[in-house]
Chain A
Amino acid sequence: MSAAATVDEASSPSPASELLPRPTRESVLLRLALGLAGAALLGQASVVARVRPQDLLSGASGMADIVRRSVPPDVQHLQPALGGVLETFDIALLGTSMALVLSLPLAVLAAENVTPSRALYAIARGVIAVTRAVPDLVWALLFVTAVGLGPFPGVLALVVHSVGMLGRLFAETIEDIDMGPVNALRVTGASPIQIVSHAIVPGLLPSLIGIGLYRLDENVRSSLVLGFVGAGGIGFLILTAMNLFQYRQVATLLILTYLLVIGVERASAVVRGRLR
């Protein structure tokens, strides 16, 4: 029975077989051209970036030397190192918290479904685009020039950049809210303020906290780098130790950095997991 059906199918193609036409000459050529174009793109990138694998070999002994000179890690000066860790974390914490407070009203203006006016929408989207497009490292350079060395310009840099990042994510979250519960509450005769506090906020809160924690995690890593341009924290200590060739001190700082980054990442992942 089934054998007969198979034979029948082979001799006269069913209309369904037309759903999968054989590739035409044009489509094959197009795929070939796309493949070649991709290879050319990567080729020019490695020329421009001056990729020289032999440098990795000749640099190997230098790397080995640095590794040799950084063991054992220096535990004599643990206290200033721990101070640096705290400073880095606090820069990220303050930067993220202040950005959270500032980005929420901005997100409401920049969310298409709740924005009070088109003009405010355009302005809010503009602010978000500019603060996001300029990297926090560049903001840090600007603020170090303006207010001087130290952790505070680092905080400012994170605030400005994070306002853009958070503002955009929050605006998208607000645009995606499920209008079902909102309408269901509206028809009970609830007031607009009650609808916001009982239907919109409970629906939004887990995403807001989740996005905020993820930003904190990102900002801890950012604030490390900000130290290299003089904006305080453990990054600044790493830079100083490198310049003085104190590799054992650098090793200690890197281990602490690793513990800080992993710690914050795990903590934020655990909290976000609980929020579902």
Chain B
Amino acid sequence: MTSAILEIEELTKAYAGSGRRALDRVSLCVWPGELVVVLGPNGSGKSTLLRCAVRLVDPDDGAIRVAGQDLARLGGAELRQARRSVAMIFQQAHLIRRRTALANVATGALGRHHDLATALGWLPRAELLEAGRLLDRLGLLHLAHKRADTLSGGEAQRVAIARGLAQRPRVLLADEPVASLDPQAAEDVLRLLDQLARQEQLAVVCVLHQPELAVRYAHRLVGMRDGRLVFDVPATAADPSRIAGLYRAEAA
């Protein structure tokens, strides 16, 4: 078996003043081609896990190894370079509103280019062409010249995924990507994540709040509660009562 592309080891984080650990020695390995869905109630540490993994939040302890390189130990230019292999999408698409879908996708490639070549909002022609190809592959080419703030929620989220792909990542993290989408758009986004895992051999980690969607799309299910990982099972072996137990008021 090939080795894991993302190895999270004993990751620990306590937010200042909260007095409890948002993440308590969480370990998780993800292999290329896998769609791992993380479930858990509010405050269980799911989002913190993903935010720590890209260093939007700095963990207190532990390691985040991507292709063997530990992001927790990096800073400055080294961190920026390492971040390029991890794409992240959020609950909101967070596109730049006044630019076209095409330009937004191309900004995903900025990390590969020098400051001078991209000053004043310039985007390299080659990256715009690449962005067009990505949009085409996702069936979104008709949106290329539409401004980001005119896209529907589902369209914007898929454009945000295309921006992530423009990074040429090996890992794709998704923090509640369908929480503000209607059911049809949510299915479209999850189908796309599943397809990217299978066809592009991406390692996908997706936080969800809908157990029924999780069971249908996940290859592996991870349950979190109170900052700890409570189960990590293949989706085919998922036990509905254990999933329901995550959300019960008293500790499972």
Q: Which residue of the partner chain B has the closest CB to A206?
A: B98
Confirm or deny: A191 has a beta carbon within 8 angstroms of a beta carbon on chain B: yes
Asked whether any CB of chain A lies closer than 8 Å to the CB of B90, the reply is yes
Is there a chain A Cβ closer than 8 Å to B195's Cβ?
no
A189 touching B84 by the CB < 8 A rule?
Answer: yes
A202/B83 contact (C-beta < 8 A), A190-B111, A197-B119 known: no
Whole-angstrom distance between the alpha carbons of A12 and B87 in the complex? 61
Give the residues from 58 to 90 in chain B that come closer than 8 angstroms, CB to CB, to chain A: 77, 80-84, 86-88, 90
Contacts of A210 in B (CB 8 A): none
B252 interface residue (CB < 8 Å to A): no
Report the nearest B residue to A194, measured CB to CB: B110
In the complex, the answer to whether A188 meets B84 with C-beta atoms within 8 Å is yes
Tier of interface size on chain A: 20 to 34
Taking a contact as CB atoms under 8 Å apart, the answer to whether B92 and A198 are in contact is no
Q: Report if A188-B118 is in contact (Cβ < 8 Å); known contacts: A183-B56, A198-B107, A202-B98.
A: no
In the complex, which residues 192-218 of chain B have their Cβ closer than 8 Å to any Cβ of chain A?
A: none
Q: Does A187 contact B (CB under 8 A)?
A: yes
B159-189 residues with Cβ-Cβ distance < 8 A to A are 160, 163-164, 166-167
Q: Is the interface of A mostly helix, strand, loop or mixed?
A: helix
A166-224 contacts to B, CB under 8 A, are 178, 180-181, 183-191, 193-194, 197-199, 201-203, 205-206
Pairwise interchain contact A187-B118, C-beta atoms closer than 8 A: no
* Chain A residues positioned under 8 Å from B111 (CB to CB): 188-191
Evaluate contact between A184 and B94: CB separation under 8 angstroms.
yes
- Known A194-B110, A201-B121, A202-B99; judge A188-B56 contact (CB<8 A): no
CB 8 Å contact bits of B205-240 with A (1 = contact, 0 = none): 000000000000000000000000000000000000
With A and B bound together, what is the CA distance between A183 and B93 in angstroms? 11
Q: Report the minimum CB–CB distance from A203 to chain B (whole Å).
A: 7
Q: List 6 A-B contacts (CB under 8 A).
A: A184-B90, A188-B107, A190-B80, A197-B120, A202-B98, A206-B98
Interface of B toward A, CB cutoff 8 Å: 54, 56, 77, 80-84, 86-88, 90, 92, 94-99, 107-108, 110-111, 115, 118-121, 160, 163-164, 166-167
Known: A184-B163, A202-B99. 4 other contacts (CB 8 A): A187-B86, A188-B107, A198-B107, A199-B107
